[in-house]
């Protein structure tokens, strides 16, 4: 899938995610009503798909999406497809269609299923899925649907149906250049050079913007040039090749083709200029290798056999040097650390293919530039890069679990210490004091009731009077007192005894009430202590230690599976890289053999008296 296509898919999903049915088939923008869905869309627009998927799945798990539930599931499927998880995306779309619920975008689900089948080369299944689509929620998706239907019908030879879908595409549709290029390539493959040139020319007249669109036009110019050469129209081929930008990825092929077009018109002097330009580059690409042999060939055609010999020798040396470099690259991809080799270490971007110079600077950079143009290598590299990113996330998760374990343990300890030292201590002290008061009052009441002693139940003021009487009696025993004074003391004692007896029943009732109140307070205190014990037990049982341990165990399991996946993915990437490099090695060996044969031929020609 090209970069622009991916961006358009993402844009379509954003529009789809933010739209709902508004009656009568119309669409209306709706305010996001769920925080989880809003956070998901935020990460989605930032192209942080891992965070978006995480937030979305958490919100689905906690049932926090509300009215956005159906759209969120479709968004998850489309986002999984954009993230490269096409199997997961297919499961989501299939589930949506197998269990239809109100609000499910069935047309969109069928569209994505058809698109995935098309990408996998299952044309019949793609056609079946796309037949279920009636209308799509955004113009971007509708245009892509029309483009897919056009391409499908062209492949099946149903040209009238293809023209109907093609007519629905607006003049500024971004899919028109792809259609014209594909049509041109289709006719070129059939040897229908005039028709191919016509389609390539139509695409070239379109107003294109953006690097990928311009690169596609350069590819069309290059293909049109080779088609014109095959048709024998060499001036037109030269004109098409000359329109390719020098900064384009197709510039090497265009320079090579321009030289061959000039050579086909016996203008080898003009052919030397683009070929010699190519000769300044490393012999990594096929175009450069061909130019290294084409330059001396041109000199031969110009009758400069000596210069041709020198250039053949230069080509042979370049091929030998490049063979050594390729062998070093094969050894590096066979044993070196792939993260360092590919510049994947520390890369936190989800969109690693989007923008910027992503290639690390090392001895293998020229070969990486070639390898990265291979779809198989791109997919293998992306898979390995995503797995290493997942490894980093799991390592971060493990660190967070360690922190959570420490925090949970410290919280439990701090809370327990706080309760035990403050609240528990205060309650226990209060309970002890109440118990002492109860026992003292019970003892006093028991003695007073047994002896009928009203003094034991006397009030504080009455007790103070008794204390003064006791002091006066003790003093009278030390001093000579008159009978009158003794009589007054006895009289005073009788008054106190009479008052005690007078208030005995009242004091007894008041003390019993006080005892009852103390018992109730003691009971409340005991209940508070029991509740505190229960709270402490609940606090211990509510610790996250068990959950953290379960997560840690799950994390260890996932990390084990991840390491196996990384190992398998790395091995697959090494095999793809080594296989591609071995093909280059074979091509270089063939070119080296051709250059040496040419050298030998020129030496033989010189030995027979010809110009060396």
Domains 1-20+32-174 and 184-302 share a fold: yes
Q: What share of the chain is helix, strand, coil (3-state, %, to 5)?
A: 80, 0, 20
Q: What's the half-sphere exposure (Cβ side, CA atoms, 13 Å) at 471?
A: 6
Distance CA 190, CA 183 (A): 11
Q: Cβ contacts of residue 350 below 8 Å, gap of 6+?
A: 47, 48, 49, 50, 83
> What is the per-residue pLDDT across 41-71, written as a single tens digit (0 to 9) for each?
777 777 677 778 888 888 877 777 766 766 7
Distances 568 to 12, 561, 574, 578 between C-alpha atoms, Å? 34, 11, 10, 15
Nearest to 333 by CA among 288, 381, 301: 381
The DSSP code sequence of 322-390 is HHHHHHHHHHHHHHS-HHHHHT-TT---S-TTSSS-----STTHHHHHHHTTSHHHHHHHHHHHHHHHH
Nearest to 181 by CA among 138, 150, 145: 150
> What is the per-residue pLDDT across 125-166, written as a single tens digit (0 to 9) for each?
888 888 888 777 778 888 888 888 888 888 877 888 888 888
Cβ burial of 52 (10 Å; 0-12, 13-18, 19+) is: buried
pTM for this prediction? 0.63
**The predicted structure's pLDDT at residue 19:** 41
- Which superfamily, per CATH, for 184-302? Tetratricopeptide repeat domain (1.25.40.10)
Residue 402 or 421, more confident: 402
Give yes or no for a contact between 8 and 174, defined as CB atoms under 8 angstroms apart: yes
> What is the per-residue pLDDT across 480-518, written as a single tens digit (0 to 9) for each?
777 777 777 777 767 777 766 666 666 667 677 777 777
Best-predicted range by mean pLDDT (89-98, 217-226, 452-461, 477-486): 217-226
Residue where the block lists tokens 């009636």: 134
| Domain residue ranges of the chain, discontinuous segments joined by + | 1-20+32-174, 184-302, 424-543
- Which superfamily, per CATH, for 1-20+32-174? Tetratricopeptide repeat domain (1.25.40.10)
Question: Quick one: average pLDDT of 248-254?
Answer: 87
**The predicted structure's pLDDT at residue 450:** 62
Q: What is the mean pLDDT of the chain?
A: 76
Q: String of b and e for 135-153 (b: at least 16 CB within 10 Å)? A: ebbbebbbbbbbbbbbbbb
**The predicted structure's pLDDT at residue 311:** 92
State the Cα torsion 278-284-287-293 to the nearest 10°. 70
Give yes or no for a contact between 109 and 97, defined as CB atoms under 8 angstroms apart: yes
């Amino acid at each position: 899938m090209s970069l622009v296509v991916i961006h358009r898919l993402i844009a379509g999903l954003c529009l789809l995610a933010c739209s709902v049915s508004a009656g009568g088939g119309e669409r209306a923008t709706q305010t996001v009503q769920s925080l989880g869905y809003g956070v998901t869309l935020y990460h989605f627009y930032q192209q942080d798909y891992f965070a978006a998927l995480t937030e979305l799945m958490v919100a689905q798990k906690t049932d926090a999406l509300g009215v956005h539930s159906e759209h969120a599931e479709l968004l998850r499927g489309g986002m999984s497809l954009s993230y490269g998880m096409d199997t997961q995306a297919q499961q989501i779309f299939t589930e949506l269609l197998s269990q239809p619920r109100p609000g499910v975008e069935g047309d969109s689900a069928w569209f994505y299923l058809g698109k995935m089948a098309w990408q996998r080369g299952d044309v019949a299944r793609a056609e079946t899925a796309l037949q279920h689509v009636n209308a799509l929620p955004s113009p971007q998706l509708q245009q892509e649907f029309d483009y897919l239907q056009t391409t499908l019908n062209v492949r099946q030879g149903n040209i009238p149906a293809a023209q109907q879908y093609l007519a629905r595409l607006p003049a500024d549709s971004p899919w028109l250049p792809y259609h014209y290029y594909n049509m041109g390539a289709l006719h070129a493959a059939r040897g229908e050079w005039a028709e191919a040139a016509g389609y390539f020319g139509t695409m070239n007249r379109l107003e294109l913007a953006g690097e990928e669109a311009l690169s596609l036009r350069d590819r069309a110019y290059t293909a049109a040039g080779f088609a014109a050469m095959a048709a024998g129209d060499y001036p037109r081929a030269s004109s098409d090749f000359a329109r390719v930008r020098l900064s384009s990825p197709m510039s090497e092929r265009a320079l090579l083709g321009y030289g061959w077009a000039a050579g086909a018109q016996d203008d080898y002097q003009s052919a030397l200029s683009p070929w010699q330009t190519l000769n300044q580059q490393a012999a990594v690409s096929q175009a450069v290798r061909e130019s290294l042999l084409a330059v001396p060939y041109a000199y031969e055609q110009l009758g400069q056999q000596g210069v041709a010999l020198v250039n053949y020798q230069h080509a042979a040396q370049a091929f030998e040097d490049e063979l050594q470099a390729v062998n070093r690259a094969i050894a590096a991809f066979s044993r070196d650390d792939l993260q360092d080799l590919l510049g994947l270490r520390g890369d936190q971007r989800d969109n690693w293919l989007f923008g910027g110079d992503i290639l690390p600077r090392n001895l293998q950079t020229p070969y990486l530039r070639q390898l990265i143009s291979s779809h198989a290598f791109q997919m293998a590299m992306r898979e390995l890069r995503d797995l290493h990113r997942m490894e980093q996330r799991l390592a971060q998760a493990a660190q967070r679990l360690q922190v959570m374990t420490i925090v949970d343990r410290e919280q439990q300890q701090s809370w327990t210490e706080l309760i035990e030292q403050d609240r528990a201590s205060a309650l226990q002290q209060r309970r002890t004091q109440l118990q002492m008061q109860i026992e003292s009052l019970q003892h006093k009441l028991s003695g007073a009731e047994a002896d009928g002693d009203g003094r034991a139940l006397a009030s504080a003021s009455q007790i103070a009077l008794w204390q003064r009487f006791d002091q006066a009696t003790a003093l009278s025993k030390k001093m000579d007192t008159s009978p009158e004074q003794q009589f007054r003391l006895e009289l005073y004692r009788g008054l106190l005894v009479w008052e005690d007896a007078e208030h005995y029943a009242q004091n007894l009732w008041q003390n019993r009430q006080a005892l009852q109140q103390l018992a109730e307070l003691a009971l409340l205190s005991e209940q508070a202590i029991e509740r505190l014990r229960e709270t402490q037990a609940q606090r211990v049982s509510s610790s996250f230690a068990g959950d953290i341990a379960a997560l840690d165990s799950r994390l260890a399991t996932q990390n084990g599976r991840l390491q196996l996946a990384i190992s398998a993915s790395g091995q697959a990437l090494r095999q793809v890289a080594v296989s591609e490099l071995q093909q280059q090695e074979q091509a270089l060996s063939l070119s080296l053999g051709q250059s040496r044969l040419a050298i030998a031929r020129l030496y033989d020609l010189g030995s027979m008296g010809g110009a060396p």
